[in-house]
Amino acid sequence: MSATQRLSENQFVTKRHVDRQDEDLVYSQLTKDYPKEALGWIHNVDWSGPRKVPLNQIEWNDERTWKATKDKAHVKHFVDMINSGQSQNIKPVVLIGRPGKPTLMITDGHHRALAYREAGKSAVPAWVGQAHHVVGEWDYLHDAQFKESKKGTANW
């Protein structure tokens, strides 16, 4: 499947690992907020997107533990952008599908995902990676996040 071919928003996607364009774009997006040493796992995941992912396909069960849940001002910043028609300036959320798990885990973009939900949207623009293991380095990505990030906007 080429990077220009996209599947419907209700499908989990696996692409041929030889197509590196999506992988490179995900890597490039994340290097704005994370050190390169924390991103090696990206090359071992099959990527597609960005595409609209229905919110009900995202794992929300641990949202009370997210720092983003308590950061209302940052979430509101994105809600305001969405409501004012500036969502094209918001980076896609990064999601991971894991074997045997029915929902996609947010790896990066908790504030943005919360904002799309708060804004009443049914889906969020996202990169979707299909991992080959249930647990991986993506589980610890936020431990390596730079203190001063670009707040998830595309104007980095």
Per mean pLDDT, which range of 30-34, 39-43, 90-94, 135-139 is the poorest?
Answer: 135-139
Instruction: Name all domains of the chain by residue range, CATH numbers in brackets.
Output: 21-144 (3.90.1530.10)
Q: Say how far apart CA 129 and CA 131 lie, in whole Å.
A: 6
- Rounded to the nearest integer, the mean pLDDT of the chain is 83
Q: What is the pLDDT of residue 129?
A: 95
Q: Does 58 have pLDDT greater than 80?
A: yes
Q: Say how far apart CA 152 and CA 156 lie, in whole Å.
A: 8
Q: Are 29 and 10 in contact (CB under 8 A)?
A: no
Q: Say how far apart CA 124 and CA 16 lie, in whole Å.
A: 24
Indicate the pTM of the whole model: 0.81
Give pLDDT tens digits for 144-156.
888 655 555 543 3
First-to-last alpha carbon distance for the chain, in angstroms, is 29
Q: Does 7 have pLDDT greater than 70?
A: no
Q: Are 86 and 76 in contact (CB under 8 A)?
A: no
Q: What is the pLDDT of residue 9?
A: 38
Q: Does 2 have pLDDT greater than 90?
A: no
Backbone angles phi, psi at 86, to 5 degrees: -105, 20
Confidence band of 19 (pLDDT split at 50, 70, 90): low
In terms of average pLDDT, the best of 22-26, 76-80, 140-144 is 76-80
Q: What is the pLDDT of residue 12?
A: 41
